Amino acid sequence: MNEKSSLPKISIVTVSFNHAEFIKKNIESVLEQNYPNFEHIIVDGGSNDGTVEILRSYPHLIWTSEKDRGQSDALNKGFSRATGDIIGWLNSDDWYAPNIFFDVAEALKDYPIVLGMGQETDKEGNPKQLVENIERNFFDVLKYWVPYAWLAQPPVFFRKSLLEAVKRPDATYIDENLFFTMDYDLWVRMAAQLPFNRRIDKILAYYRIYDENKTGKYPLATQRECGRVFRRYSYTLSSTEHTFSIIIPIRSIGPDISETLKSVAAQNLRDVEILFVDYSGNSEDKKRLHDVALELSNVFDHNSIRFISSPIPELYHALNAGFEAACAPFLVTLQQGDVLGSDFLLKARELFLPDCQGLALPLSWDANLKSLMHDTNQTGLEIKIGSIFRMPYIFPNLIARKVCLMEVGAFHHEDLPPYALRELIAKIAHKSWAISINNSLSLEPAASDYRDEKDLLRVFEPYINAKIMWDLNQDLQNDPFAKLRLKSGITFAIPEGLQSIAEKILSTAPKDWERMEYLNDRRSLISLSKQYPEFAPSWYFLARVLEGEGNKDEARIAQENFDKIMAHATRWY
């Protein structure tokens, strides 16, 4: 078997129009790979600057020169003509680094796409910035506002099979209605198939950025077109039928639901579905709630009303079920008795016009909490990161972009509500979604003291904060793109001193400390307090059990142990 037949064929597709000053370097960089099994396809748009004469001088080229409908049309022609197993897309003013094709072929043996470093240059080819093209997943690619989320295109190679798998509904590869962001659109479609986690750690290509080329000349228009692509795919993920889904978890329907629904019906923006999520856990209650929801749909006839059941009869499980079932790109969570101002949804929609807006907390009802959480120091983040670890427990009245919740996985640790809420907010900020605090969204919350949730927060707070900090730090260590976000200044890191304290606190707790099965079991609590004597919650719940049994002296000792541990554990935040 000769060397050519044993190596995968690489097709390089170049589109060109009046780039005679650059095209020769482009062609020579492909020839100088010394790779025996390749083809170079050039689709020229009818150049009249000498480009055609240069193309004629290279007999190995597969080329045409004719008028086309623009770069996207030319790319579709080039990709359809490619016969190789591997495809590279090299613009006419760009060029490859020497001897990279063998590395590319090796990297793509068992994965369909590979990234490499790209060296940005000026028009003359002088180096500017080095773009590392770090590994990333679908959500990293989608969030175009994050620096370097948009791949440097020339040092990317992919298998033809992947290109075929992401064809558009009209059977084309590239959207011809996009002028600037046809590559971003292609990367999003590919990233939806699999993460981009194969990378060659060296420069594969050089690409020019200068005033005369499209990206350099029209940065704002490019950003606006990115927004079109972002909304196209994020709305598709949301199964969009309405602008907003209002999610109302219900265990039973009380008289105050009427005020909540009236406030929804009075909204200036009416493209809304109301999604009741039953978490009663009782088939008779479920049927009764379903019947009431159907009756309400006759009363509030301009809103779509749906009814689903949570697989687990707990509030945060019900909220997650609502997030998953919602058929809108924007979600609002309410409880019975909440009353919205008439312009709530209209203002919320305006608030989410920037694509980077992931979450909003309507805190106008609590000036102190709003002041605690609002960052006035112009750090680029509207939320004070430290406030997440000090916020009191509140019902999770959220306005969220559904794709944002999809990225962070919505609520985890549903059985420990204070943990679930703090972790969600921290993860959203960590993933570089904007969080609105200083807004004028008018919501009057239902009256409730949340005694049980506040009690859980008081008991578990050091461990909740420590685990959130530890998890965020692990993400920064293990996710290359998280490191890039941090380097770009649009996420945050936990200070090293706090990391050490968090690790120390977690070392005093059992690995599954957030599981709640042991709270009322005397034997388990005694065993836990002996095995982990510095784990405060075991002493607290043991004191409650002993108090209930009438063992006041033992209960007092357990409570003193809890108070002593907590006095030390709460100093650090």
The pLDDT tens digits of the residues spanning 250-264 come to 998 888 988 999 999
Identity of the amino acid at 178: L
Distance between alpha carbon 340 and the CA centroid of its chain, in Å? 28
Q: How many domains does the chain have?
A: 3
433 pLDDT higher than 60? yes
Identity of the amino acid at 128: K
DSSP-derived secondary structure letter, 278: E
Res 545: pLDDT? 95
Q: Any idea what the CATH number is for the domain that residue 182 is in?
A: 3.90.550.10
Res 482: pLDDT? 96
SS (H, E, C) 250-274: ECCCCCCHHHHHHHHHCCCCCCEEE
Alpha-carbon torsion 508, 512, 518, 524, what sign? negative
Same domain, 499 and 545: yes
Place of tokens 């008991």: 459
Structural domain contains residue 423: no
Helix (H, G, I), strand (E, B) or coil at 103: helix
Identity of the amino acid at 362: P
SS (H, E, C) 160-229: HHHHHHCCCCCCCCCCCCCCCCHHHHHHHHHHCCCCECCEEEEEEEEEECCCCCHHHHCHHHHHHHHHHH
265 pLDDT higher than 70? yes
DSSP-derived secondary structure letter, 243: S
Structural domain contains residue 175: yes
Structural domain contains residue 510: yes
Cα–Cα distance for residue pair 566/462, rounded to 1 Å: 8
> Minimal CA–CA distance to 302: which of 333, 271, 279, 332?
271
Contact 529, 509 (CB under 8 A): no
Element (H, E) at 545: helix 536-549
Cα–Cα distance for residue pair 73/174, rounded to 1 Å: 8
Q: What is the pTM of this model?
A: 0.93
Q: Quick one: 483 exposed, middle or buried, by C-beta within 10 A (0-12, 13-18, 19+)?
A: middle
Structural domain contains residue 460: no
Maximum alpha-carbon separation in the chain:
99
Structural domain contains residue 461: no
In degrees, rounded to 5, the angle at the alpha carbon of residue 103 between the alpha carbons of residues 102 and 107 is: 120
Same domain, 229 and 305: no
Q: Considering 188, 214, 236, which residue would you say is the last residue of a domain?
A: 236
379 pLDDT higher than 60? no
Rg (CA), the chain: 29
Q: Considering 211, 236, 261, which residue would you say is the last residue of a domain?
A: 236
Same domain, 330 and 221: no
Quote the percentage of the chain above a pLDDT of 70: 96
Same domain, 83 and 101: yes
Res 2: pLDDT? 59
Structural domain contains residue 422: no
Same domain, 335 and 482: no
Same domain, 131 and 248: no
Res 290: pLDDT? 79
Res 296: pLDDT? 73
150 pLDDT higher than 90? no
Element (H, E) at 502: helix 496-507
Structural domain contains residue 347: yes
Helix (H, G, I), strand (E, B) or coil at 145: coil
Res 3: pLDDT? 63
Same domain, 191 and 279: no
Same domain, 558 and 488: yes
Same domain, 308 and 436: yes
520 pLDDT higher than 90? no
Q: Considering 202, 217, 236, which residue would you say is the last residue of a domain?
A: 236
Same domain, 271 and 204: no
266 pLDDT higher than 80? yes
Query: Average of pLDDT values for 259-274?
Result: 93
In 323-381, the DSSP E strands lie at: 330-333, 339-340, 357-360
Structural domain contains residue 152: yes
Cα–Cα distance for residue pair 139/406, rounded to 1 Å: 9
Residues whose CB is less than 8 angstroms from the CB of residue 47 and which lie 6 or more positions away in sequence, other chains included: 16, 17, 18, 19, 20, 65
What is the domain range of residue 556?
477-569
Query: pLDDT digits over 14-45, tens only?
Result: 999 999 999 999 999 999 999 999 999 999 99
Would you place residue 573 in the very low, low, confident or very high pLDDT band (cuts 50, 70, 90)? low
> Minimal CA–CA distance to 157: which of 60, 58, 62, 30?
30
Res 6: pLDDT? 85
CB atoms under 10 Å from CB of 542, counted, come to 27
Same domain, 249 and 220: no
Same domain, 500 and 400: no
